[in-house]
Amino acid sequence: MARKLNMRKRYELLTRGLGWEPTYQPREKVFSNETYEGIKITDWSKWEDPFRLTVDAYWKYQAEKDKKLYAVMDSFAQNNAHLNVADASYVNALKLFIQGVTPLEYAAHRNFARLARQFGGEGAQIACQMQSIDELRHAQTQIHTISHYNKHFNGLHDPFHMFDRVWYLSVPKSYFDDASSAGPFEFITSVSFAFEYLLTNLLFVPFMSGAAYNGDMATVTFGFSAQSDESRHMTLGLEIIKFLLEQHEDNVPIVQGWIDKHFWRAYRVLALVSMMQDYMLPESPMSWKEAWEIYFVENAGALFNDLGRYGLRMPRHHEVATAEAEHLSHQVFGIFYNYTHAAALNLGLPGEKKMDWLSEKYPNTFDKYYRPRYEMWAQMAKEGKRFYNGGLPQLCQVCQVPMAFTEIGKGDPMQFSYRVSEYNGEKFHTCSDGCKDIFDHEPEKYVHAWLPVHQILQGNCGGATIPDVLNWYHFQPEDSGEYAGSADEIRWKAMHGKAAESTQDAA
| CB burial readout 401-418, b (16+ within 10 A) else e | bbbbbbebbeeebeeebe
| Furthest CA-CA distance within the chain | 83
The nearer residue to another protein, 193 or 336, going by C-beta atoms, is 193
Smallest gap from Cβ 390 to another protein, in A, equals: 40
Under a CB-based contact definition with an 8 Å cutoff, are residues 469 and 463 in contact? Answer: yes
| Beta carbon nearer to another protein, 61 or 416 | 61
Rounded to a whole number of angstroms, the minimum distance from the CB of residue 204 to another protein is 8
Residue number with CB closer to another protein (194 or 438): 194
> What is the DSSP pairing of strand 406-407 with strand 412-416?
antiparallel
> Which CB, 276 or 431, lies closer to another protein?
276
Stretch that binds another protein, among 175-183, 207-215, 439-447, 496-504 (CB under 8 A): 207-215
In the complex, the smallest distance separating the C-beta of residue 305 from another protein, rounded to whole angstroms, is: 5
Shortest reach from residue 210's CB to another protein, in Å: 7
Q: Residue 304 or 450: which CB sits closer to another protein? A: 304
Query: According to the binding rule CB under 8 A, does residue 129 interact with another protein?
Result: no
Question: 237 or 452, CB closer to another protein?
Answer: 237
Nearest-angstrom CA–CA distance, 283 and 278: 9
User: Which part of the chain contacts another protein (CB under 8 A), choosing from 79-87, 141-149, 298-306, 402-410?
Assistant: 298-306
Q: What is the DSSP string of 394-405?
A: -B-TTT--BS--
Indicate the residue among 224 and 362 with the shorter CB distance to another protein: 224
**What is the rounded CA–CA span in Å between residue 461 and residue 442?**
27
Minimum gap (Å) between residue 346 Cβ and another protein: 25
3-class secondary-structure state, position 450: coil
Contact with another protein (CB under 8 A) among 142, 209, 338, 400: 209
Smallest distance from the beta carbon of 216 to another protein, in angstroms? 10
Burial class (CB in 10 A: 0-12, 13-18, 19+), 391: exposed
Burial environment of residue 424 by CB neighbours within 10 A (0 to 12, 13 to 18, 19 or more): exposed
Which three-class secondary structure state does DSSP give residue 342? helix
How many Å from the N-terminal Cα to the C-terminal Cα in the chain? 64
Which residues within the stretch 212-241 sit at the binding site for another protein (CB under 8 A)? 212-213, 220, 224, 227-228, 230-232, 234-235, 238
Closest CA to 330 of 289, 302, 293: 289
Q: Among residue numbers 361 through 400, which ones bind another protein (CB under 8 A)?
A: none
**Smallest distance from the beta carbon of 215 to another protein, in angstroms?**
10
Residue span binding another protein (CB under 8 A) among the ranges 1-9, 310-318, 450-458, 476-484: 1-9
Residue among 424, 423, 462, 418 nearest 439 (CA): 423
Give the type of residue at 434: G
**Site map for another protein, 19-58, x if CB under 8 A?**
-------------------------------xxxx---x-
Residue ranges in 299-328 that form contacts with another protein under rule CB under 8 A: 299, 301-303, 305-306
Q: How far apart are CA 173 and CA 275, in angstroms?
A: 18
Question: What's the rounded Cα separation, in Å, for the pair 225 and 137?
Answer: 10
**How many residues make contact with another protein (CB under 8 A)?**
40
Residues 6 or more apart from 211 whose CB is under 8 A from it?
A: 93, 219, 220, 223, 281
Specify the residue, 291 or 332, whose C-beta has the smaller distance to another protein: 291
Q: How far is the CB of 386 from another protein (least distance, A)?
A: 33
The least distance separating another protein from the CB of residue 284, rounded to whole angstroms, comes to 10
> In the stretch 60-99, what mask flags binding to another protein with x, by CB under 8 A?
-x--xx--x-------------------------------
Question: Minimum CB separation from another protein for residue 194, in Å?
Answer: 15
Nearer to another protein, 283 or 482 (CB): 283
For the chain, what is the radius of gyration of the CA atoms?
24
Q: Which of 33, 83, 120, 204 binds another protein (CB under 8 A)?
A: 204
- The distance of Cα 53 from the centroid of its chain, to the nearest Å, equals 26
Residue closer to another protein by CB (options 293, 407) is 293
- Candidate list 172, 210, 413, 434; residue touching another protein; CB under 8 A: 210
Residue 149, CA atoms < 13 Å, CB-side half-sphere: 29
| Surface-to-core class of residue 169, CB atoms within 10 Å of its CB (0-12 exposed, 13-18 middle, 19+ buried) | buried
Phi/psi region, residue 150 (left: phi>0; alpha: psi -120 to 50; beta: rest), is: alpha
Calculate ∠ Cα 418-276-390, nearest 5°: 50
We find the least distance from the C-beta atom of residue 362 to another protein, in angstroms, to be 20
Give the footprint of another protein on this chain (CB under 8 A): 6-8, 50-53, 57, 61, 64-65, 68, 201, 204-205, 208-213, 220, 224, 227-228, 230-232, 234-235, 238, 285-286, 298-299, 301-303, 305-306
